[in-house]
Structure 1
């Protein structure tokens, strides 16, 4: 027999949402600025996302995987400057770059130098120098710096990811696979709990979350994810920090088609977030990053293997964009890390610290020390976000 509490959760889920936490009550917002972290799980290939088309060794290493910039009769990479071009699937991202709302940091990596997805993601999410060195996540420590009452951070995922776990309160939200409940059922359940001091509050919170989610279906398409996230972030009393998980970036084979689909989905999601945030987009910074990059050379199955340096993306109305930041190491045999990977020349820790601090109006040095205390001296990259 279902308990009343369990039935409440099931009914709320059937209403179109799965509440991973019993209730979603957000902070009294301490700022109008918003920071969104999008993780690319699986090691995204930075060399084919922001393409170093002017690099003499690029085409030879990539072979059939090389992204063309020359043939005007086909869909080709979009030139950003005299060195780099953007993958052709990133149409909306290219528009943001052109309008000064996107920038890219190339040859960037966390301190992790091995090639395990699990260990690499642990280092990326915790902010340590080695796997399992730190137990909580840097995004949770960032939420604690922002302050406010109750939850000020949310993950759009079935459970709270490691990056958001820690002392600061955070929640997660994901669509349910259950069929939507009828309006009649919702009315009856609401009446049933009207006089219950404890469950009435839970039900009200569930219905508020359902209203924010709108008619997002159980099968999430990228546009729906962006719209869903915007619904929460646009609220006056909504969260100011969010995390969105994306997977499928591990392209060992058939990379060209798979990466194109992945990037089109990412592009669609970010555009939907932008379009549905309205005026709040002007105060928003979105950071997209992966645990490590992929090999400089193509493998024998039309893909690439686990590597090191990759590219990170910053997008948003608050971003001082229209540029590629890169201390380019080159792709000749002697330039590569361990003779196989794009050599990291920029610290992802420093990028995260600088972008997070500037996007939320925090001190970059203090933020770097708080988020990456186990990583040694982290120098935040600044000048990324408009004041």
Structure 2
């Protein structure tokens, strides 16, 4: 896709293109080379691929005057330190999941997904049009970064377990690799959460350092090989109903960009976001069938486990809200938006999807 085509597709142009000649734009654009570390190994070609797609679109939209080089987790900084590298100016931009940094402040969870939060579409609608982006960027400003939408996995799976989970008691003492704020919910149920970067999960599960692990869904989970060491595959991942991925940009670097480059970055992030969602919808169905053929045992979390998890999550949200004004403000905004969203979804979307799922040939 060429720069002019990209401008037309993403909406940067049309009216603007009529008044600003493309060659004039190209002549006035500075040459920039940025580095983008990610939280993903290259083997996860949808997560890491989203960063590559974003960088590629930026280059093509600027006749390669603005170039972004992507790096896998560990090549510049560890996967869970991308935010820190952007914040302190070691790099200009990073591709990561906001909730990895909830240890700094629980409010970071909202840039990805809050336990029992909204699905992909409602979460994205809140970020884009429900005030979420401005609210989060006001918070992120404290850490010298600004956020751009750059991916979404859709509803995730509940993870891989060595043993079946028949009741809430089976969670007690369970060493569970689980990302972000959801680990604190699992603690309330007696589990022992572990935050481990994607590339390090398999050896921990294989050696028995952990008893269970969640990552994303069938396509990525198959690539990471979890079915070989933990056969029980659970759903749904209630902690990630529709988790966003973000690109964090150093605030000083962002403010120094020409407005055109800012627009290109934002629209390239949207393109990567749409690409990632489509890629997972394409790859997860056949991957699940392959995993089942390889011996995966598919289970739904028992209803008592789901209800206990929901109760624990709401308790935690209220506890944190009582002591953290930023968390409370964002949580109330998202919760109100999601409640309205689900009232609409149950009218048409859920009914239609349930009917079609019942008639699908699986």
Q: TM-score, normalised by structure 1?
A: 0.27
Q: Going by fraction, where is helix more abundant, 1 or 2? A: 2
Structure ranking higher on relative contact order (CA contacts 8 Å, 6+ apart): 1
